[in-house]
Homo-oligomer: A and B are copies of this chain.
């Protein structure tokens, strides 16, 4: 049975997954600078591995394991429109093709939730972006089919993860708490009153970079 998994989703100590005023030059908004610094060694190791062409990009630590876990056995990705790009409202044209360049690091079907339809967008390397106006349940059904037996990864942003949590559709939520205060922004755990009925915290585990990994699983 395919599972819906969230990985490496990072919040501040005061609970924010994004700051205020998300935009092109600040995709996560203001106030959350450094939120994803814990991933940098993993990215850097990967770049080095690619340069040396030996493919050896695995670290040994908790942070790197959490980073890599998000890529294991994933056959499709779901994301909200804010994670796809900074454009809000109707698409002015089709020039925005995601944050990731012509060869996005997905290499499978990516389903983007949006109220504004747009033709599917095939990219290099096997990634195709599909744009859907659908309920979480509907898009999960589409993504599960596309995943062909593998799991589905739910990216972000905050509101998207919250919506799937509220519907009880997430099977595993691997959170990261960063030693940062944002003060304001988008809160992950907001209006999720029924969450404890379906989920529990499996463990809090320190990473090497000063963050803490929190695994939230079904009861």
Q: Which residues from B are CB-within-8-Å of A31?
A: 196
Contact A13 B196 (CB under 8 A): no
Contact code string A178-219 (vs B, CB < 8 Å = 1, else 0): 011111100101001111110111111110001110101000
Residue A15 interfacial (CB < 8 Å): yes
Instruction: Report how far A179 CA is from B205 CA in the complex, Å.
Output: 10
Query: How many A residues face the partner with a CB closer than 8 A?
Result: 33
Residue among B14, B182, B204, B211 making CB contact with A13, cutoff 8 Å? B204
In the complex, A177 has a CB within 8 A of chain B: yes
CB closest residue in chain B, given A201 = B179
In the assembled complex, which residues on chain B have CB atoms less than 8 Å from the CB atom of A200? 181
- Give the nearest-CB partner of A214 in chain B: B13
Bound together, the chains give a CA A15 to CA B210 distance in angstroms of 19
A47 to chain B, nearest CB (A): 27
Q: How far is the CA of A155 from the CA of B200 in the complex (A)?
A: 28
- CB contacts (< 8 Å) of A211 on chain B: these are 204
Contact of A15 among B179, B189, B206 (CB under 8 A): B189
Q: How far, in Å, is A10 (CB) from chain B's closest CB?
A: 13
Whole-angstrom distance between the alpha carbons of A114 and B29 in the complex? 39
**Whose C-beta in chain B lies nearest to the C-beta of A179?**
B201
Q: Can you list 17 A-B contacts (CB < 8 A)?
A: A13-B175, A14-B15, A14-B195, A177-B177, A179-B214, A180-B196, A180-B201, A181-B189, A181-B196, A181-B200, A181-B216, A183-B192, A183-B195, A183-B196, A183-B197, A204-B212, A212-B212
